[in-house]
Amino acid sequence: MIKQKKNGELIIISGTTCAGKGTVVKKLIERNENLKVSISYTSREKRDGEIDGKDYYFVTSEEFEKKIQEGAFLEYAKVQYGKYYGTPKKEVQELLDHGYDVILEIDVQGAQQIKEMFPQTILIFIMAPSMNEVKKRIKARGKETKEQILERFKVAYNELNEIPKYNYVVVNDNLDEAVSKVEAILISEKCRVDRIEEIAVENQEEFIHEFLMDKDFDNEPLKIEE
For the chain, the C-alpha Rg in angstroms (whole number) is 23
- Please report whether residue 134 resides in a domain: yes
Q: Is residue 219 part of a domain?
A: no
For 85-106, what is each residue's pLDDT tens digit? 999 999 999 999 999 999 999 9
Q: Is 7 contained in some domain?
A: yes
Look at residue 83 and tell me if it is in a domain.
no
By the 8 A CB rule, do 39 and 91 touch? yes
Range of the domain at 13: 2-38+101-214
State the Cα–Cα distance between residues 42 and 40, nearest whole angstrom.
Answer: 7
> What CATH number does residue 192 fall under?
3.40.50.300
Tally of domains in the chain: 1
Per the domain annotation, does 79 fall within a domain?
A: no
Rounded percentage of the chain residues whose pLDDT exceeds 90: 51
* Inter-residue long-range contacts of 128-132, CB under 8 Å, 24+ positions, other chains counted: 128/16, 128/18, 128/19, 128/20, 128/171, 128/172, 128/173, 129/171, 129/172, 129/173, 131/156
Looking at residue 166, what DSSP letter applies? S
Do the domain assignments include residue 96?
A: no
Q: Which residues of the chain have pLDDT under 70?
A: 1-4, 80-81, 197-226
74 within domain boundaries: no
User: Does pTM top 0.85 for this prediction?
Assistant: no
DSSP string across 76-103: EEE-GGG-EEEEEHHHHHHHHHTT-EEE
CB neighbourhood size of 72 (10 A): 17
